[in-house]
Structure 1
Amino acid sequence: MKILKRILKIGFLLFGIIVLMGIITLWIDSLETNYLKINKKDSLSNKSYLITNVNIIPMNQDTVLVNKMVFIKEGIIQQIADTINVNGIEIIDAKNKYLTPGLIDMHVHLWDRYELGLYLANGVTAMRNVWGMPMHLRIKEDILNDRIISPTLFTTGPKLTGPEFIGDDNLNLFSPEEAKEKVISYKDRGYDFIKIYDGLDKPIFDAVIEQAKISEMDIVAHTSKKVLFSDHLNPQIKSIEHAEEIVQQPLQYDLDTLKLQTIINLISQSKQTSYCPTLTVFNNIYQMMNNDSMLDSEQLDYMNPLVKRVDSKNQFNRWLSAKQKDSTTVSRIKKQHDFHLTIVKKLNESGVNIICGTDAGIGVTLPGFSLHTELNFYKEAGLSNYEVLKTATVNASKTHAIMNSLGTIEVGKMANLLLVDENPLITLSTMQKPIYVFVEGRKLNKQTLGFYQEKAKKRNNLIASALRYLENLIVEK
């Protein structure tokens, strides 16, 4: 008995030491992102400005408002005019540069707070996280309480899938009743949206939609192969993710443009459903198969180290193995990517509300940087610069009611803005290097943005990230 007690004491002691070490690790990691903390003394004073001599790309119409003034008070656009007289606030002379709405990435996987600064450095002032975990609720709370500088953050809850769908990144549902309970729980806990995934059968699928409507929660959807594609064009489902979903489900990998047009027509008839193509993440499969040293490339220094160690490596090895087994895999992936460009072109021609999303944060898809790659693919698909920019501004803001204060430069809108050197309606690449980023009215200059970018590079938080993911498995499963 004494030996058993001694063993238990040692066990509890070791457990306590492990817990303490975990707490210390997370605390140290939090200190490393203190550069995002907001000084309470400056919480409102640095959110009010008068911007003069500025050319405005309002994005509610295809035009340039030349040589205007913009008055921002406490993070909200108050007035846009030729002349504005206000006293006691900072004046920013834009020197005939161009003011645009901040960019919105509608499909990200956020892994840590370093990435918040990395998104801002790339002009992303709002994001929709589509794999919710407890840490995202804490980040949201800090943003809402004005504790940290961050893109405006919206997040789904955990991904909802059916009973047999394998993967610790999914929440398996076994009955319609459980599905309804989860939707209610996610609403109560503060998640913004519901995300559904492949594997849902029709009864559970219908239950999620029914409860989401009652709970007033929009749904973000991967299509489920157990449900008709047309069933996803439900008013409660505000966006469908990934161009490859069209190829995989309704087209059954038949890259036929005539069959595609039938699907496009179906989507266009659903006026309340946006489409998020995420071309970048699929194209990265092709990039991995053509670059044997990608895992060692400098650009992957911007990936979360846990993701890089596990997901990036697994995806790279998966597609390297596929290429070695079948040499035609490379050309097949390239052909499908090119077909995705056709999907985007036809979606645009049919008036579908296309929203820009990248799937950043998984595989080798870089947070922040990838949004500009995605926009360039839309340009390659035949969209005009204005149509391209709409996908990451006004189109995104129209997708969910809670995002309506973003996406355009108008009186009453949130001051999530970029000041850039050139007219992006002519030179799209100017969006990659903003002079200033305004996020909820706060002004960030090039030096600050560069600092944020460097802090995210080669960050040493693998263990802290693993602990937060472990928390997610314990809490959400």
Structure 2
Amino acid sequence: MKKLLTVFFILFQSSYNFGFAQTYVISNVNIVSMENNQVLKNQSIIVDDGKILEIVPMTDPFDFDGNQIIDGKGSYVYPGLAEFHSHIPVAQNGDSQLQEEAMWLYLANGVLHVRGMIGHPSHLDLKARIVNGEIAGPRLFLSGPSFSGGSVSTPEQAAQMVRDEKTAGYDHLKLHPGLSMDEFMAISKTAKELDIPFGGHVSLEVGLEASLKNGYKSIEHMDGYIEAMIPDYSRVLDPEIAGPFTMLLVDEVDLSILPELVDLTLENKVWMAPTLTLFDRFFGWKPAEEYRNAPEMKYMSAQQIQSWINAKTPYEEKGILTEEYVQPYLDFRNKLFMTLHNAGVPMILASDSPQVFNVPGFSIHHEIDLMSKAGMSNFEILKTGSVNAAKYFDQENEWGMIKVGMSADFVLVENNPLEDLNTMKKPVMVVMNGKVYDRIELEKQLNRIEANHKR
């Protein structure tokens, strides 16, 4: 035991300083590779220069000295999860504290791949610092500043905005509501010419059908589907009648339209980022104040938590967020989620963090819980956060599975996540691009973040 702790310490010290050993072994593990739904029992993973060099059974001999071997103690290993709808904090006046804290919150929860969905130039700096090894963090895929009724004024300006974001180095475009059809088409045409993916909300003037047919890579929040099934679209356009995300009109949905929308989604190869937890928490009927002291809120500032309470309270005061209104809406969203999934629409794991009561990293586990309750299998849930996330950016040969030649991005937990989803809430160890972070280091960083926001 003393020798094992020494090994952890040696590897950890070097990894934390980003000068980690070029080659090492994690032995005595069971691997959920995500190539299929089988578990490879009693294996060793050999990591070299940040990649998986070899996977060998424990019965096969290998030649490594003790300082290069970590005993996995029979833990289970799976590819790191994704958060594919993140609102990465913005560095204020060069202060990147909240950004760096968010990165550690993701790592501590086994979230190793993050798609930012509201961009800022400071995010590009953050990504560069992670890539260069200056700070710890997941692999980032960044959307630029959003396209919305507030940021877009003409089709020409919208097209230029696409060109500017591509030149700046963003990986993705994010669309918010309020775009006219002409503005949307200018964004679509230019994005296709520059080969930069885009997705987001569905503007009411554009509608779901045009969004699906004209290049959306992902629909966020399953937006637009309810609206597309309301026979009297004029009611959708009135926010007082429709409520947030058309919540108040769910009983007017014509389900006979859904098969056509599902076919259209499949035909155009559009992905779905459901963000079930956003609606469960932001638009759910549990009072805002009850979230103030939820366990993970200790990693957020009092100001941030209050802003979330302030965002939800007006809906409560209007009487919108009652169980009578909300539960049928959440039930319908679960049904829509499973209908799309069962039809073969590819899903990506996304929780919209940090957003109303969704703390980075922790909210992914809330999302996983809700996906499971909706009826998705454990294997398919893991797939949304690994294989699917990699495929979204055409990087399925680089990460997303535990496979020889892929990046060493994986998580060790006590139990088999194919049988126990809760085990993923407390990683024993996280390996990101070959860098090793054990539970001691993850707890140290969580404690530091909590201390920063003591109240």
Give the TM-score category using the shorter length.
0.7 to 0.9
Partners of 1:418 and 1:115 in 2: how far apart? 18
Residue among 375, 390, 398 paired with 1:397: 390
Partners of 2:228 and 2:305 in 1: how far apart? 30
The secondary structure found in structure 2 opposite 1:450 is helix
Letter in 1 for 2:136: I
Change (3 A) 1:330 1:244: farther
Partners of 1:362 and 1:290 in 2: how far apart? 16
1:293-343 residue CA offsets vs partner (Å, 9 max, x unmatched): 433555423235553343x132132222122xx6x7432112111111111
1:75-117 residue CA offsets vs partner (Å, 9 max, x unmatched): 1111122236354671122222211000101001122211111
Q: Kindly indicate whether the alpha-carbon contact (under 8 Å) linking 2:316 and 2:322 is maintained by their aligned counterparts in 1.
A: no
Partners of 1:334 and 1:73 in 2: how far apart? 50
- The match for 2:244 is none
Q: Kindly indicate whether the alpha-carbon contact (under 8 Å) linking 1:114 and 1:455 is maintained by their aligned counterparts in 2.
A: no
Question: Quick check: 1:336 aligned with 2:329?
Answer: yes
**How far has the Cα of 1:256 moved from its partner?**
4.5
**Could you tell which deviates more after superposition, 275-284 or 74-83?**
74-83
Residue among 340, 343, 367 paired with 1:347: 340
Question: Quick check: 1:68 aligned with 2:43?
Answer: yes
- The match for 1:315 is 311
Letter in 2 for 1:69: S
- Counting only pairs closer than 5 Å after superposition, residues 278-289 of structure 1 correspond to structure 2 as 278-287=275-284, 289=286
1:428-461 residue CA offsets vs partner (Å, 9 max, x unmatched): 1111111101111111111111122222326359
Question: Quick check: 1:152 aligned with 2:151?
Answer: no
- The match for 1:43 is 18
The secondary structure found in structure 1 opposite 2:88 is coil
1:171-211 residue CA offsets vs partner (Å, 9 max, x unmatched): x1112221121111112222111111111112211111222
**How far has the Cα of 1:287 moved from its partner?**
4.6
Question: Structure 2-normalised TM-score?
Answer: 0.84
- The match for 2:95 is none
The secondary structure found in structure 1 opposite 2:77 is strand
- The match for 1:451 is 444
- Counting only pairs closer than 5 Å after superposition, residues 28-427 of structure 1 correspond to structure 2 as 42-46=17-21, 48-82=23-57, 83=60, 85-87=62-64, 90-111=68-89, 112-162=99-149, 165=150, 172-234=151-213, 236-251=215-230, 253=249, 254-271=252-269, 273-287=270-284, 289-290=286-287, 292-310=289-307, 312-323=308-319, 329-402=322-395, 405-427=398-420
Q: Kindly indicate whether the alpha-carbon contact (under 8 Å) linking 1:285 and 1:333 is maintained by their aligned counterparts in 2.
A: no
Partners of 1:127 and 1:64 in 2: how far apart? 26
The secondary structure found in structure 2 opposite 1:362 is coil
Partners of 1:217 and 1:364 in 2: how far apart? 31
Which residues of structure 2 form unaligned runs of 5+?
A: 1-12, 90-98, 231-235, 237-248
1:246-295 residue CA offsets vs partner (Å, 9 max, x unmatched): 22444453344433333223212222x21010010011035564354433
Partners of 1:303 and 1:340 in 2: how far apart? 28
1:347-367 residue CA offsets vs partner (Å, 9 max, x unmatched): 111011011100111221111
The secondary structure found in structure 2 opposite 1:239 is strand
| Matched-pair identity in % | 31
The secondary structure found in structure 1 opposite 2:146 is strand
The secondary structure found in structure 2 opposite 1:159 is coil
Q: Kindly indicate whether the alpha-carbon contact (under 8 Å) linking 2:387 and 2:396 is maintained by their aligned counterparts in 1.
A: no
The secondary structure found in structure 2 opposite 1:395 is helix
Give the total of aligned pairs. Answer: 413
Partners of 1:316 and 1:423 in 2: how far apart? 37
Question: Structure 1-normalised TM-score?
Answer: 0.80
The secondary structure found in structure 2 opposite 1:233 is helix
The secondary structure found in structure 2 opposite 1:154 is strand
Letter in 2 for 1:351: G
Partners of 1:174 and 1:425 in 2: how far apart? 48
1:34-56 residue CA offsets vs partner (Å, 9 max, x unmatched): xxxx9799534345321222211
Change (3 A) 1:265 1:47: farther
Letter in 1 for 2:221: H
Partners of 2:161 and 2:283 in 1: how far apart? 37
Partners of 1:127 and 1:436 in 2: how far apart? 19
Which residues of structure 1 form unaligned runs of 5+?
A: 1-37, 166-171, 462-477
Partners of 1:406 and 1:363 in 2: how far apart? 30
Change (3 A) 1:40 1:407: closer
**How far has the Cα of 1:242 moved from its partner?**
0.2
**Could you tell which deviates more after superposition, 385-394 or 78-87?**
78-87
